[in-house]
Amino acid sequence: MTADRPRRALVSCSDKHGLADFAQALVKLGFELVSTGGTRTALEAAGLPVTDVSTYTGFPEMMDGRLKTLHPKVHGGLLGRPNLPDDAAAMEQHGILPFELVVVNLYPFAETIAKPGVTVEQAIEQIDIGGPSMVRSAAKNHAYVGVVTSPSQYGTVLEQLASGSLTAEFRRQLAAAAFELTARYDRMIADYFATITTPVAEHIFPQSLVLSFDRRSTLRYGENPHQTAAFYVEPRPHASSLASAEILHGKELSYNNLLDLDAAMQIAREFRQPAAVVIKHNNPCGCAVAEHLVDAYTKADAGDPVSAFGSILGFNRPVDRETAEQLSVPGRFIEAIIAPEYLPEAFEILTTKPKWKSNVRLLKCPAFLDPHPVGMEYRRISGGLLVQERDEDEDPRANWTVMTNRHPTPQEYADLEFGWLVCKHVKSNAVLFAKEGMVVGVGAGQMSRLDSAYIACHKAGERSHGAVCASDAFFPFRDGIDQIHQAGITAVIQPGGSKRDDEVIAACNEFGIAMLFTGRRHFRH
């Protein structure tokens, strides 16, 4: 703005965090404030001079606030180009004042529809009309108007205004953020209307899918050093999600760290008793439950100590001193740990005692075990996107059926339950051996189930004697049963559903192996 042209800011904000201080700074920089109902009241309460938009337009606010900024004197001031003679003449003729700055954020539609029991009428009243209209007008005319849509922008805006005016590049960045805001806002509303106007299957999987995530950070690289990567999060990630975890210590997280930390969380939260999970390349190489967390970790690490070197750990209880001492014994190397909390003594040990103390990433998620909605899972393929519900539903135990002459013993049944919960998180084909609440052998990601069984036998060694076996899908032939019998497996849990189920059941009866069918497969490609 030139020195002889007054500076004006149009302010209308639902989110008033930091607004009073920002507006105070604008006044000190010589801005006149024009505002609407609730925002005007808040600014006046802060002792700031402000003109009501109705006073400026000469048209009263009405219809319970639905109509207040949809006026030519408002949008003319946003869209007008004062440096163009025709625009300047029109503004002069109709008493339209130019705005140098527009500070707007929108009605909290997402927060409203997230509330339990919200009605359609309540949701509709939180559809902002004037706000997006002002944002879009200002963003279109960003060559002349700065459009501020988030409190996070206040600091940079003030820095630039203190030096004179917003740069053209920054105004363009603000406009881009504004159009992103209105696009996301409209998408939320469209998604909500899909839920109240279409069959369930259609609003879960709409005809057109538009995703919106915020970039949290760029990563050093992707799965491999030659791949670029970034971490994006949902606008409102659930408190129990990895995106809500707090990084307490350690090096920058990598792409692979994030994948493995998420896998560790998903498995550890399956259990209600203290549990420890050891993840390597997105698969559990160790997992155990026990009365005390330190014992769960000791057992989990013993499941495959060679593979556990350089692993990611997940705990479903706060890490205590005893567990931290075990984590820090010489010869162990840990990349990252996620847990609900770290007790002070444990945190001090992990950040001062082991050789890797300065490098290990420590993350906490207090809501680790909180119930959370089953989310959607997205996977890119060339030219498209596959979408499915995450495999997070609890299996109905009532559907489990003993298919053999011999029933599992109480200890076998407990181990079958444990093994089944872990096996669903292993890459297919998955065969897992469990014994006394710990994983003793895993065969993951093989092209044949027989190969997975062979690897599980190799990993378990002598510990397979008296252990149980979990298989994420059915055994297509009895040869898998023959193999695990030779390793000493006494009970099996699997979905069933093969046309050769009778042969598999007969093999188990021949060897005295107890077998459960769950009726539910858990492929994980």
- Both tokens of 79, joined, read 């869209």
pLDDT of residue 1: 45
Q: Is residue 237 a part of any domain in this protein?
A: no
Per-residue pLDDT of the chain (525 residues; tens, 9 = 90+): 444 567 888 888 878 888 888 888 888 888 888 888 778 888 888 888 878 776 766 566 666 656 666 667 776 777 777 777 887 787 777 777 788 888 888 777 777 777 788 787 777 777 777 778 888 888 888 888 888 988 888 889 898 888 888 888 888 999 998 888 888 888 877 877 777 776 655 557 777 777 888 899 999 999 999 999 999 998 788 999 999 999 999 999 999 999 999 999 999 999 999 999 999 999 999 999 999 999 999 999 999 999 999 999 999 999 999 999 999 999 899 999 999 999 999 999 999 999 999 999 999 999 999 988 778 899 999 999 999 999 988 888 899 999 999 999 999 999 999 999 999 999 999 999 999 999 999 999 999 999 999 999 999 999 999 999 999 999 999 999 999 999 999 999 999 999 999 999 999 999 999 999 999 999 999
pLDDT of residue 373: 77
- Specify the pairing of strand 468-471 against strand 101-105: unpaired
What's CA 103's distance to the chain center, in Å? 29
Neighbour-count burial of 62, counting CB atoms closer than 10 A to its CB (0-12 exposed, 13-18 middle, 19+ buried): exposed
For residue 465, give the CATH number of its domain: 3.40.140.20
Question: Is residue 92 located within the same domain as residue 179?
Answer: yes
Question: Is residue 360 located within the same domain as residue 401?
Answer: no
Question: Is residue 357 located within the same domain as residue 457?
Answer: no
Amino acid of residue 507: A
Q: Which helix (H) or strand (E) holds 52?
A: strand 51-52
3-class SS of residue 228:
coil
Q: Hunting for tokens 């190489």 — which residue is that?
A: 285
Amino acid of residue 25: A
pLDDT of residue 47: 85
3-class SS of residue 354:
coil
Rg of the chain's alpha carbons, rounded to an integer? 30
Question: Is residue 139 located within the same domain as residue 188?
Answer: yes
Question: Is residue 360 located within the same domain as residue 467?
Answer: no
Question: Is residue 45 located within the same domain as residue 189?
Answer: yes
Distances (CA, A) of 111 to 42, 107, 245, 425, 517: 21, 9, 21, 33, 43
Q: Model pTM?
A: 0.75
- State the Cα–Cα distance between residues 241 and 243, nearest whole angstrom: 5
- Both tokens of 338, joined, read 């996620």
pLDDT of residue 199: 63
Split into its structural domains, the chain has a count of 3
For residue 178, give the CATH number of its domain: 3.40.50.1380
Question: Is residue 472 located within the same domain as residue 404?
Answer: yes
Sign of torsion, CA 174 229 206 394? Answer: negative
- State the Cα–Cα distance between residues 259 and 251, nearest whole angstrom: 16
What is the set of active-site residues?
Answer: 140, 281
Which of 158, 179, 195 is the C-terminal boundary of a domain?
Answer: 195
Question: Is residue 327 located within the same domain as residue 281?
Answer: yes
Q: Is residue 381 a part of any domain in this protein?
A: no
Q: Is residue 236 a part of any domain in this protein?
A: no
Question: Is residue 24 located within the same domain as residue 159?
Answer: yes
Question: Is residue 158 located within the same domain as residue 59?
Answer: yes
Question: Is residue 401 located within the same domain as residue 357?
Answer: no
Sign of torsion, CA 67 68 69 71? Answer: positive
Spatial CB neighbours of 25, under 8 Å, sequence gap ≥ 6: 158
- Both tokens of 336, joined, read 């990252």
Q: Is residue 103 a part of any domain in this protein?
A: yes
Which of 315, 346, 364 is the C-terminal boundary of a domain?
Answer: 364
Q: Is residue 303 a part of any domain in this protein?
A: yes
3-class SS of residue 18:
coil
Q: Are 433 and 469 in contact (CB under 8 A)?
A: yes
Which residues form the domain of 66?
Answer: 7-195
Question: Is residue 341 located within the same domain as residue 450?
Answer: no
Q: How many CB atoms are located within 10 Å of the residue 53 CB? A: 24
Helices 72-79 and 130-140, axial angle in degrees (round to 10) = 30
Q: Is residue 188 a part of any domain in this protein?
A: yes
